[in-house]
Amino acid sequence: MNRSIPRRTFVQTVLGAAVAAGSGVAALLAGRYGLVPPDHGGVLGIGHTLTFGAQRLLLRKQPLAREFDRAQISTNFPALNTTLPEDPDYQRDMKQGFRDWRLIVDGLVARPVELSLADIRGFPSRTQITQHVCEYGWSAIAEWTGVPLSLVLNAAGVQPQARYVFFNCVDGWWDSLDMADAWHPQTLLAYSMNGQDLPVAHGAPVRLRVERQLGYKHLKYITAITVTDTAREWGKGQGSEGAEHGYSWYAGI
């Protein structure tokens, strides 16, 4: 990146702009640097913007979340909220070992695709042992294997104006990541947990792992991935279903 502005000035300018986000020019400036989250409006908005903006500035070099040894894998990993989606198509796919299941990748991509589980398993994979931290106060360590989201995005050809990647799930959950988390090497579409096929309770056939955010961002039962340049057209425009219920869109840890 071209650093023609000295670093301190850059940080001050952008954070200052982030504080004032919601008001005209400053919001535009912070938005340009990708430092304003979609849930920046309202009373909680300033807090969300400060947390997100500060983390994005501090983490510009994309550090990895901590990885653990096999010996540290938790014997008990809770399964939360939806553990068996009711959707009849899902249940049929499940009984057939997800043979006919497809993952849609569309939006601002050169080549929209529908990927089978075999297609997804055909990409180069990454395995990582990480700690899942749920906002309800529990955490657990597991080994996840999947395709880095970046490889799928590159295969589809992300257009330069992309700002968010939205995810839909079979149980109706939806959420989004900014491009920094979408390209992060530990952000996976995971299909294995502890060396086995991803169990249904944990989001089969494919779930998201986004290791630097809290549990609720790790969407299970993903059905579609849509690249966008705006969060406005989804729900109330706050970037996630959770944000509409008071959970911060950005859940960095």
Ligand X SMILES: Nc1nc2c(c(=O)[nH]1)N[C@H]1C(S)=C(S)[C@@H](COP(=O)(O)O)O[C@H]1N2
The contact set with ligand X (CB under 6 A) reads 78-82, 134, 169, 171, 173, 202-203, 215-216, 218-221
Spatial distance between the Cα atoms of 121 and 242, rounded to a whole number of angstroms:
29
Cβ proximity to ligand X: between 29 and 169 the closer is 169
5 binds, among ligand X, Mo ion, none (CB under 5 to 8 A by kind): none
Distance of closest approach, residue 219 Cβ to ligand X, in angstroms: 4
Cβ proximity to ligand X: between 52 and 221 the closer is 221
Cβ proximity to ligand X: between 18 and 209 the closer is 209
DSSP string, 53-73: HHHHHHTTT-PPPP---GGG-
Confirm if 248 and 51 have CB atoms less than 8 A apart: yes
81 binds, among Mo ion, ligand X, none (CB under 5 to 8 A by kind): ligand X
Helix (H) or strand (E) holding 88: helix 88-95
> Which residues sit at the interface with Mo ion, rule CB under 5 A?
134, 215-216
Reduced to 3 states (helix: H, G, I; strand: E, B; else coil), residue 173 is: coil
Cβ proximity to Mo ion: between 14 and 177 the closer is 177
The two tokens of residue 65 are 């979340």
169 binds, among ligand X, Mo ion, none (CB under 5 to 8 A by kind): ligand X
Give phi and psi for 20, each to the nearest 5. -85, 5
